[in-house]
Amino acid sequence: MSAAFDPDGHNVPDDLVIFDLDDTLLDTSRGLRAARRRILETAFPGCERGQLVRAAVAWRATTLLYGDDRLHELLGVVAMVADLPLDRSLDWEGLRADYRRWQVGLTRPRTPVLLAARALKADGKGLAIVSNGEAGHQWEKIRRTGLDSLADAELIVVCDGRTLPLKPSPVAIHQVIRAAAARRAVLVGDRMTDVVAARLAGIPVVQIRSRGAEVERGVPLRRLTKPDILADSAGCYDAVTRVLDGRT
Ligand SMILES: [Mg+2]
């Protein structure tokens, strides 16, 4: 696909490929599970491995009730349903900081998707990243894994739910399409949140299979709305080029 030049001499791509971050460009779920194991070992000292596995299952099931920012309340539910004694004398602020540091430290790029992104960029496509989350945390992961070199700064957008509405709102998607002045766009993500956001934005969507560490919001919508292509991470490049070429 060719790229045009605007009157100011900037490279204006015809096509913009907008990537989700967590469990699309980054493998965050493995690090999240490992960080949770460390937290559970601290919060439930002396518990056996089987008990900690039960607690990890309970944590995953509790994620729609309490986010990880409410660690104290969340682990109270885990203690109750897994029937384990919670160490209530913990330094919760310190534990939250450790949890975040461990997660970031254990986050890795999802190599097949990153390679697809680089190949699409080499083809002349514009790239953008639109991610839900706390801005400081998301940017820490982006910088640590070098993803900030993938797209221009104005095309990397974190929806924090305050300054920008969270996906599935299409606001951030429209924002990066406008900023890139692209004629066509496609969203690549792993969750129903991404599928619904793309549909609301009026653009096609490639859903990449992933194994998230949290219960997924909006899962029942799977029966009602589908991505243009559901692909494994290794099929990302082909899926995106097929969607942009109208070969779905
Ligand atoms: Mg994701």
Span 12-41, pLDDT tens digits: 789 999 999 999 999 999 899 999 999 999
Residue with tokens 């194991």: 37
The whole-number pLDDT of residue 8 equals 55
Q: How far is the CA of 27 from the centre of ligand 1 (A)?
A: 9
Domain span at residue 79? Answer: 30-106
One domain for residues 141 and 178: yes
One domain for residues 188 and 161: yes
One domain for residues 156 and 57: no
Q: Which of 38, 44, 160, 35 is nearest to 100 (CA)?
A: 35
One domain for residues 165 and 236: yes
One domain for residues 129 and 213: yes
CA pair distance 31, 33, nearest whole angstrom: 5
CA pair distance 17, 129, nearest whole angstrom: 8
Neighbours of 96 (CB within 10 A): 16
Q: How far is the CA of 52 from the centre of ligand 1 (A)?
A: 26
One domain for residues 74 and 171: no
**Mean of pLDDT values over 118-145:** 96
Q: How far is the CA of 213 from the centre of ligand 1 (A)?
A: 11
Q: How far is the CA of 110 from the centre of ligand 1 (A)?
A: 11
One domain for residues 126 and 71: no
Q: How many domains does the chain have?
A: 2
Q: How far is the CA of 204 from the centre of ligand 1 (A)?
A: 17
Q: Is the pTM of this model over 0.85?
A: yes
CA pair distance 143, 139, nearest whole angstrom: 6
One domain for residues 85 and 160: no
Q: How far is the CA of 23 from the centre of ligand 1 (A)?
A: 5
CA pair distance 117, 186, nearest whole angstrom: 12
Q: How far is the CA of 51 from the centre of ligand 1 (A)?
A: 29
One domain for residues 128 and 204: yes
One domain for residues 182 and 233: yes
